[in-house]
Chain A
């Protein structure tokens, strides 16, 4: 690790700079992928958007002066990238959810308890199905507030709307979530 608190990740082909970039990617990749996946609801789209977010971030890294702010800054780019994607497409893709039912077990989970695996899969599918029923803005507000733990004011800033609107989205999303969860558990 560098003694300096500043990131110096300029792409100029230097091995050490590339190593730092790789470390930056490795540190944040899973978290960013999950944020985007929860917003867009499809693994393939989340993969593309995660890559896009990292490329944007690393190309604009001169804006990043503080390592401690790096994660926050990257999340902002990731959510903006996901939001832009939803705006362009105009709807939520629920196609990934069906494929998850038939997806083969990953190699890392082969040794898990089968019951626990089934339960986890059910929880995931339920979460994905319910998220798919929310409007994009409700889903975004819920993910940023309840999963990412951002304060409502910051969620409002990210979504370019007022705090009252965000509170309305969050309340609607939680109420719908509770209602739909009750139905799926029956």
Chain B
């Protein structure tokens, strides 16, 4: 009696033989104990592989790995969106132009986003409308919430609480006598913003390399 080849048995164990070969293999296995034993070994191996492969590698702390990956994915999406925004806002400006628009030493206003639009930009009407709306929103906000510090780039929740400051020197958190400062990298261009819903954020773009650094400080009550 001619036995099945190892290849045939290996494929049959996973249901991967073509129809006629599969029928032949099935008939053969009924009559041949040796091939049947081989078949059972391949089938068991396949099941064990599938089961073991579903488990995490030993030594992996999934919780911390998951947190790290989720944060990196969020960061990657944010960076991608910023790059898209930069490309869709028109041609790259000349380096001199950027240098003149490099961050000034004074703190930035709330919210501040530096956008390099020229007078001929097709986005100008939209920018004008957006700018007007921003002014109105900021005015309403200032009038509605007098306890909030009026210092540019600064948001204080209540006296004695944590104060978050976004300025060109970096993002700073002050609480009591202590302060934590995220210093900016040596970047030519920076965009700073303070979002009352999400926290403070600084984006730095190195004009020469295109490398982008994002600092984001979130705050909020734990639910």
Contact across chains for A175 and B69 when beta carbons are under 8 A apart: no
Interface residues of B, count at CB 8 A: 41
Since A11-B81, A125-B58, A143-B53 are in contact, a sample of 14 more A-B pairs with Cβ atoms closer than 8 Å, ordered by chain A residue number, is A11-B80, A25-B70, A29-B70, A51-B72, A51-B76, A121-B58, A124-B52, A127-B53, A149-B50, A152-B16, A168-B7, A174-B10, A174-B13, A174-B46
Contact across chains for B10 and A171 when beta carbons are under 8 A apart: yes
Contact across chains for A30 and B61 when beta carbons are under 8 A apart: no
* Residue B6, interface by CB 8 Å: yes
**What is the interface of chain A mostly: helix, strand, loop, or mixed?**
helix
Range class of the A interface residue count: 35 or more
Q: Which of A18, A22, A105, A171 contacts B7 (CB 8 A)?
A: A171
Given A145-B16, A178-B41, A170–B11 Cβ distance below 8 Å?
A: yes
User: Which residues from chain A contact B42 at a C-beta distance below 8 Å?
Assistant: 174, 178
User: B188 to chain A: closest CB distance in Å?
Assistant: 25
Q: List 17 A-B contacts (CB under 8 A).
A: A25-B70, A30-B56, A43-B60, A51-B73, A54-B69, A54-B73, A100-B58, A106-B61, A108-B61, A120-B58, A121-B58, A123-B52, A127-B52, A143-B53, A172-B7, A174-B45, A175-B10
CA A105 to CA B57, docked complex, whole Å: 10
- The chain A residue sitting closest to B48, CB to CB, is A123
Q: Which of B11, B49, B66, B68 contacts A167 (CB 8 A)?
A: B11
- The chain B residue sitting closest to A181, CB to CB, is B45
CA A147 to CA B53, docked complex, whole Å: 7
